[in-house]
Amino acid sequence: MNDYELKPRTRRDFLKLGGIATALAMAKTSLSKDRNNMLSNQDFSTQASFRDAQTITLFLCGDVMTGRGIDQALPYHNDPRIYEPYMTSAQGYVKLAEKANGPIPKSADFSYIWGDALEELRRINPDVRVINLETAVTTSSEFWPGKGINYRMHPGNVPCITAVKIDCCVLANNHVLDWGYAGLTETLTSLGGPNIKIAGAGSNLMDAEAPAIIELAGKGRVLVFGFGHESSGIPRVWGARSDKPGVNLLPDLSDGTVDRLAERIAGFKQKGDCVVASIHWGGNWGYEIVNVQREFAHRLIDQAHVDVVHGHSSHHPKGIEVYRGKPILYGCGDFLNDYEGISGHEEFRGDLSLMYFMTMDITTGKLAGLSMTPMQIKRFRLNHAHPDDAHWLQQVLDRESGPLGARIELTDKYRLSLYQNLS
């Protein structure tokens, strides 16, 4: 037996926690097979269908940075000229990645970047899919002066977002305005539409504050509010105002801010809704979770009745907490970027990323299970992480989540899950 094949302590624990998403995926697979097979699995399918009717599964991840180098590998490319101190062409990032990990297709198809994540999404088949899209979607050439890093993806590449049926792109981050207000406006028009909802940025404050509302047949709604905080590098001037486009910027993480958010969220939340607060906050490297963030997350749950705190900005996954039955991801880590071949911070293994599959019980509004699938970014593509790397990530996440009261275990060689008594 492989050393990394750790087992949950009991089968009941496993089903209760990370196993639910997996069980649902298995049930969905069994339901899609032929009738005989369905009948032979009747007990399990009935049980799982009952669970399925009571739960929703969200796919969440951190920063999806499909601009700059990755844009150069997609079917449509922007002018590669960029305005960074050490790099003047986005092609330079393609060359670095190829030098590190081998050739990247010259014009990859729209789904290329998702690699093995495609099959994982098919397997779990989550009800809702939310990403932090950390790039402008534009051909604008109005780079933000002095910003130093300019991310843009050609609008022709939006099908790479729809290729994996992303329901909501959160835009309250420190790259959405890299190509000026013209770039933001084009981002909003390129993404806004029947297939992709956006949250956290808008043509004025009201739009930027409005949640993305995802209706689920027979299972209520998921409301995603996008928030940005200056600690992630968002310039204060990027904040939307009543007469100015921009991002939904939190002025601070104070009690007063929570009070205002509670009022705003109450204006949208209906009984049975699942509210996600998706927050871009904190620096890029390091595991520390500052008290002010933790208290803010707790108060969002206590006072603003938020069900899920989806934090991002860190380039690597950070600790996880379950507070009063509500999950808090303090930092999901980069999911996809063009950093291959860039040295520094190797100890954080920024090449490893995580798919979070979070199952919420809609009758109680509480977490029913959290499973996570590690991926590795190579050649601008997501690949299943090697079992050694999955094990390393489990150890790190367990170490960082332990002080928050959560444990992380391996469910098999390739996947992790939360282990905690949720009752």
Residues that bind Zn ion (CB under 5 A): 173-174, 232, 313
Nearer to Zn ion, 24 or 208 (CB): 208
Least distance to Zn ion from the beta carbon of 173, Å?
Answer: 5
SS3 5: coil
Least distance to Zn ion from the beta carbon of 83, Å?
Answer: 18
Are 282 and 205 in contact, with CB atoms under 8 Å apart? no
First-to-final CA distance of the chain: 32
Least distance to Zn ion from the beta carbon of 198, Å?
Answer: 16
Nearer to Zn ion, 101 or 174 (CB): 174
Please state whether beta strands 366-378 and 352-361 pair in parallel, antiparallel, or not at all (unpaired): antiparallel
SS3 272: coil
Nearer to Zn ion, 130 or 408 (CB): 130
The CA distance from 72 to 69, in Å, is 5
Encoding tokens for residue 297? 């997350």
Nearer to Zn ion, 232 or 376 (CB): 232
Least distance to Zn ion from the beta carbon of 314, Å?
Answer: 9
Least distance to Zn ion from the beta carbon of 206, Å?
Answer: 24
Least distance to Zn ion from the beta carbon of 154, Å?
Answer: 20
Nearer to Zn ion, 185 or 284 (CB): 284
CA gyration radius, the chain: 21
Least distance to Zn ion from the beta carbon of 132, Å?
Answer: 8
For 238, phi then psi, to 5°, come to -75, -10
Q: Report which DSSP code applies to 402.
A: G
Encoding tokens for residue 211? 């949640």
Place of tokens 């022709």: 156
Nearer to Zn ion, 173 or 371 (CB): 173
Least distance to Zn ion from the beta carbon of 65, Å?
Answer: 8
Are 273 and 221 in contact, with CB atoms under 8 Å apart? yes
Nearer to Zn ion, 117 or 172 (CB): 172
Number of continuous H segments (helices) and E segments (strands) in the chain? 13, 19
Nearer to Zn ion, 55 or 174 (CB): 174
Tell me the residue number closest to Zn ion, measured at CB.
174
Nearer to Zn ion, 230 or 412 (CB): 230
Least distance to Zn ion from the beta carbon of 405, Å?
Answer: 27
Are 52 and 46 in contact, with CB atoms under 8 Å apart? no
What region, left, alpha or beta, does residue 380 occupy, with left being phi > 0 and alpha being psi -120 to 50 degrees?
left
The CA distance from 228 to 311, in Å, is 10
Cα angle, residue 359 at apex, residues 380 and 197 outer, rounded to 5°: 55
Are 173 and 247 in contact, with CB atoms under 8 Å apart? yes
Dihedral angle sign, alpha carbons of residues 158, 161, 162, 166: negative
